[in-house]
Structure 1
């Protein structure tokens, strides 16, 4: 891989990001209902994160987006907790340490936004992702926080910032 660039999402990235997320979910065999696949915000990611205490990052190589992830206040949660949202990478970007770079950038943003904790939901078979999350300080919890609407993602993890 040549040099990659992690940067904030731009409006013109919306289509490429939505296509990437849907492709990864289909490739991984994830349900289309109860996951990010069905989120109404998926086609408008720039606008969705264009607000205080939120950021969405893309991983770009030679003008092509290979991965993405974001942080924002956890929906329907009164506590000062953000959610790691929609972290996905195309197959050609996996296993190269880029996920660690992206996750570090998201944790840095969450700290800059002064959140106390960061929460995520994932699928049971996404073992490589869970291993990365655990390595970066996330711990498993037995029930969901907030209400993300992702009822098909029954693995919950949280980390102190």
Structure 2
């Protein structure tokens, strides 16, 4: 399978939002206080047009099968970005696409001179949480910053 990794384009908004919401429905986490109901999910290209933010797309045969970004979320400490909106379609999980997307975002964060990456997740996404732990993220006892995703109960941080 040939995979293309590239930065987000305006025309990615609708198919990316649909893929993300499909993942939420699959894991039965389609509830308020998550990316599922966040209005920015429909406008990710525009959201990432701020300094020191990047969103990476994984594409196979012209279809978006994954995405992950870094973002300077409100309230994070100086030198810290958030690893955000990281989702991979069920059809390609276990192929290394997610691992490659995360590696690309970690590299981007380093290139942007971030010293830490923060993320929020849900217990239902246990395989993803395990992947984060293998990548060097450690769990926190409480959230950092003000993401607005109050339903998330897993908070993690990685030193770069």
Same fold (TM over 0.5): yes
- Could you say which TM-score interval applies, normalised by the shorter chain? over 0.9
- For residues 31 and 82 of structure 1, the distance between their equivalents in structure 2, rounded to whole angstroms, comes to 25
1:106 matched to 2:114? The reply is no
- For residues 123 and 17 of structure 1, the distance between their equivalents in structure 2, rounded to whole angstroms, comes to 20
Task: Give the aligned length.
Answer: 160
1:127 matched to 2:126? The reply is yes
Give how far 1:79 is off.
2.4
- For residues 98 and 63 of structure 2, the distance between their equivalents in structure 1, rounded to whole angstroms, comes to 16
Look up the match of 1:50: 49
- For residues 92 and 31 of structure 1, the distance between their equivalents in structure 2, rounded to whole angstroms, comes to 19
SS in 1 for 2:42: helix
Give how far 1:147 is off.
1.0
Look up the match of 2:116: 117
Q: Which runs of 4+ in 1 moved over 4 A?
A: none
Q: TM-score, normalised by structure 1?
A: 0.96
- For residues 36 and 147 of structure 1, the distance between their equivalents in structure 2, rounded to whole angstroms, comes to 14
User: What stretches of structure 2 of length at least 5 have no aligned partner?
Assistant: none
Look up the match of 1:64: 63
Look up the match of 1:158: 157
SS in 2 for 1:38: coil
1:79 matched to 2:64? The reply is no
Give how far 1:78 is off.
4.1
Give how far 1:59 is off.
0.6
CA contact (8 A) 1:31 1:152 kept: no
Q: CA RMSD in A?
A: 0.9
Look up the match of 1:28: 27
Q: TM-score, normalised by structure 2?
A: 0.97
1:146 matched to 2:145? The reply is yes
CA contact (8 A) 2:59 2:65 kept: yes
